[in-house]
Amino acid sequence: MQKKAIKVNSTDNVVVALVDLSANEKVIVDDVEYLITKDTKAKHKFAATNLKEGDSIYMYGIIVGKAVHNIEKGEVITTENVKHKSAKVEKKTDMTTWTAPNVDKWKDRTFMGYHRPDGQVGTENVWLFFPLVFCENRNVETLKDIFEKELLFDKPSKHQLLLRSLISDKENIEEDNKEDYRVFKNIEVKFITHQGGCGGIRQDAEALGRLLAGYVKNPNVAGATVLSLGCQNLQIEIFKNALEKISPNNKKPIVIYEQQKSGTVDEMLDGIIKDSYLEIKKANEIERQPAPISKLVLGLECGGSDGFSGISANPTLGRLSDLMAAIGGSTILSEFPELCGVEQELVNRCVNEKDAERFLQLMKDFENSVIAAGSGFDMNPSPGNIKDGLITDAMKSAGAAKKGGSSPIQDVLDFTEYITKPGLNLLCTPGNDVECTTALVGSGSNVVLFTTGLGTPTGNPIVPVVKISSNNTLVKNMPDIIDFNTGEIITGEKTIDETADDLLEFIIKVASGEIKTKTQILNQNDFIPWRRGVSL
């Protein structure tokens, strides 16, 4: 029988409604009876005791807000009676102990991946086209149209006929002989456009260069075609230096064209098509081979969160993150605005004192930049978050941080820095769905795990994004975007540990190419670089 409500931590002074509760209804939680004073929707919280104005609100065992006036026991918590509040953290105060979970059943498991010369293993095999500056977006879109139509067999253009002649090794092809099959079995061709590379500030262009270098470094990429105008802030040399820094012995083929040195657009496109086709054909020869699951780098993210995210989907990812740490794999926890209020726990989990200090400094700098723009971390919850029970940033953060489990934090990365250590890593990103996913992939994630309670279509051009629902209703309403459901934790049908095991089995199939995620099926290829200080 499903519980009606739950107190997440014994020290909490709020209780979470698991089902809709009516005014004057009596609910028993942990042998304590509560009289509900007002109608309370599922996912929302009600007071576990009488609260006075100024009292701190505790959930997950930490401060998540403060009462702005007196609140009766059993009264629903809202934006009208509670405001954001979080604990102040100055330094590391302790070293958190951790008992690794038993991973005997996982230690010899493998997935079928694409092995790269640098030791990384991809879950996909992608040839990537991208510009260094927005001025080249049109040419990238033209190439996208040419390659996709030809490889997927649509009505051909002049350049498609050129590509077709290369494929068939014939000088001239004029007729459109359609056949229902893919030309390349082991390679995907993907395209990125963006609005950066020039204008703005030089730091944005340099950050974009590092981000794009991370995409080339990512194990899911076999090689890349890069378009440059020539006069932009993000010069080819800046991009090459960024790639050299993270991949000094890069063996991946890179085709680079600079328009201002390439004659007419037609001449440039002809050259790009010929050179890229030759490399794509070679990359198609790479086949999946067994690899230990320790080669997985799982990006952890949430978006469109609800009041159940922090007690079903996110703790499931936390358990999975702990399993990966014990196996020797890697996870990356992002979204720094959604770690506000849980800093002390995370600082205490940092293995290295310098990482603890760096995390606090990155959080401080991020928050100061947001305040300078006239906003603040307290404005992070979206209208959808609030409607579904996440009424303060600290409350949202406390649930979001559950994705990181309880294992030690091995490294703290700034935006565009590439992962180098196994175990749990922190990555400074905004909470914005697409900007965060974009950053996780640029730092080396070869699968992104994305929890949601409300639903979001966010995907990525080169990495499968697994959408994980926090509740059963979302799966029924949006089956076209949800891959995996943790709602049975809420209804009491499954435990977090059981669900995490099921999720890891699912991930292995995704990483092996046996299952396509809904974002891949929908061809949801989102890419938005973060411009620091602009978004939460």
Residues 77-86 pLDDT 10s: 999 999 988 8
Q: Report pTM.
A: 0.91
Strands (E), 360-487: 409-413, 423-427, 447-452, 465-469, 484-485
Q: How far apart are CA 466 and CA 382, in angstroms?
A: 22
- Fill in the DSSP letter of residue 127: E
Provide the token pair at 388. Answer: 């579904």
Percent of the chain as helix, strand, coil, to the nearest 5: 35, 20, 45
- The full set of domain ranges for the chain reads 5-83, 126-285, 298-521
Q: How far apart are CA 415 and CA 438, in angstroms?
A: 10
What do you get for the CA distance between the two ends of the chain, in Å?
A: 40
CATH architecture of 5-83: Roll (2.30)
Q: How far apart are CA 417 and CA 394, in angstroms?
A: 26
Residue 163's pLDDT is what?
Answer: 85
Q: Scanning the structure block, which residue is given the tokens 């200090």? A: 357
Question: pLDDT digits over 432-447, tens only?
Answer: 999 999 999 999 999 9
Q: Scanning the structure block, which residue is given the tokens 């690794």? A: 100
Q: How far apart are CA 24 and CA 36, in angstroms?
A: 5
With CA atoms as reference, report the closest residue to 519 among 461, 459, 449, 467.
459
Residue 488: exposed, middle, or buried by beta-carbon count in 10 A (0-12, 13-18, 19+)? Answer: middle
Q: 3-state class of 13 per DSSP? A: coil
- DSSP labels, 265-288: HHHHHHHHHHHHHHHHHHHTT---
Provide the token pair at 176. Answer: 């459109």
Mean pLDDT on 9-19:
93
User: Considering the domain 126-285 in this protein, what is its CATH number?
Assistant: 3.40.50
Strand order in the sheet with 188-191: 188-191, 126-131, 221-228, 254-258
| Fold: same for 5-83 and 126-285 | no
Question: pLDDT digits over 91-115, tens only?
Answer: 888 877 899 999 999 999 999 999 9
Residue 181's pLDDT is what?
Answer: 59
pLDDT-based confidence at residue 156 (cuts at 50, 70, 90):
low
Number of DSSP helices (H) and strands (E) in the chain, helices first: 15, 22
